[in-house]
């Protein structure tokens, strides 16, 4: 995903609710047991929260791809105990492994 320009972000922030196409948003009828969005129990999303979240998405590293992966509880606990940014640390460990593997298997 490419980074949005300031002009594009400004244009996006100026859209009225009537100008936004919501047709591709999944139904929320079956949302039993969903966790609250915030630890204080609220689920209100302000324009600023949404804008900040969108901005962050567009600033992400284009080399990184979001994935879903199942890891052992022990692995997650270890990384969470050592860093608030545990997903970044897991990525760094995997990158180090890949580099070592590539170096030892290059011909």
pLDDT single digits (tens) 23-46: 777 666 665 555 555 556 555 666
Quote the pTM value: 0.44
* Domain ranges, ordered by start, for the chain: 1-19+39-61, 67-107
Give me the pLDDT at residue 52, please. Answer: 74
Residue 87: which of 64, 107, 105 has the closest Cα?
64
Mean pLDDT of 90-101: 93
- Poorest-pLDDT segment among 48-52, 87-91, 94-98: 48-52
Average pLDDT, the chain: 78
Give me the pLDDT at residue 96, please. Answer: 93
Q: E strands along 31-102, which residues?
A: none
Residue 55, pLDDT > 90, answer no
Residue 73: which of 57, 88, 86, 54 has the closest Cα?
86
Vertex 77 angle, CA 74 and 82, to 5°: 130
């Amino acid at each position: 995903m490419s980074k949005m320009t300031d002009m594009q972000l400004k244009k996006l922030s100026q859209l009225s609710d009537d100008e936004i196409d919501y047709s591709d948003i999944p139904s929320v009828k079956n949302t039993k047991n969903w966790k609250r969005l915030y630890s204080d129990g609220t689920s209100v999303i302000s324009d600023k929260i949404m804008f900040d979240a969108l901005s962050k998405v567009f600033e992400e590293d284009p080399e990184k791809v979001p994935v879903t992966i199942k890891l052992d509880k022990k692995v997650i606990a270890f990384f969470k105990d050592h860093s608030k940014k545990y997903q970044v640390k897991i990525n760094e460990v995997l990158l180090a492994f890949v580099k070592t593997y590539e170096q030892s298997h290059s011909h």
